[in-house]
Amino acid sequence: MNAADLAARMLREPFATFALETKTGNSFTIAERWQMMVSDKSVVVGKPSAKRGIAEDFSIIPLAEIERVVDAKETPTMKKADGVVRLYTDGACQGNPGPGGWGFIIKDGAGAEIGRGSGGERPTTNNRMELMSVIRGLEALDPSQSIKLVTDSQYVAKGLSEWMKGWKARGWKRKTAKGLEPVANEDLWRRLDELTASRKVVCEWVRGHVGHPENEECDRMAVEAAMNV
């Protein structure tokens, strides 16, 4: 993350809520432009006080420690719904690697929408954004909720249903003609393993860009997030 990108976002979306996530796992939510000041090497974030326009409890974050900027519209963890919920996901990337985005929609067993979220980061890849869309969707749901995951990514669908068990058994290595090699995006696959350990997840692959309503909407959200990151 560099100062120019962060300052540009502040000016472009002065009242948009987003979060800065650091490499150490901390998250700082920005709801108002006056909460944050950017220099060439760091960002200063303060918590809003009771008086509007005043911030307090400042934190100084080196720009090098900011891992990503996340759209903070994500749905808080929901109560467990009856039956199986459907999680629709998609990721997008403007260039590969380049600025990327992800989006998800959650619907209950009756087909009613109960949550959605989107966000972006840079630089990233399309596969990482596909994985992030699933991660963020699962994080928004009760950890014991049964899920039907609907994705247009063969990478995600086959990874979860066919490949991940073997990768994990081999110490997160995959078989190649040259022998065992590290799994790409291991950090995200490990997180998915954690999120699916206590629930049943069934994957359904759908072809992208053929008019599937939820898939098209997730794609729109992901592309918009990639363009605004």
Q: Which residues are catalytic?
A: 90-91, 130, 152, 209, 219
Q: What's the CA gap between 137 and 85, in Å, rounded? A: 11
C-alpha count within 13 angstroms, C-beta hemisphere, residue 136: 29
DSSP for residue 33: G
Q: Which residues contact 119 (CB under 8 A, 6 or more apart)?
A: 18, 68, 69, 70, 71, 72, 73, 74, 101, 102, 132, 136, 225
Task: Please compute, for residue 70, the number of CA atoms within 13 A of its CA located in the half-sphere on the CB side.
Answer: 22
Instruction: Report the alpha-carbon distance of residue 79 to residue 28 in Å, rounded.
Output: 25
Q: Which of 5, 4, 24, 26 is nearest to 99 (CA)?
A: 5
Q: CA–CA separation, 123 vs 131, rounded Å? A: 15
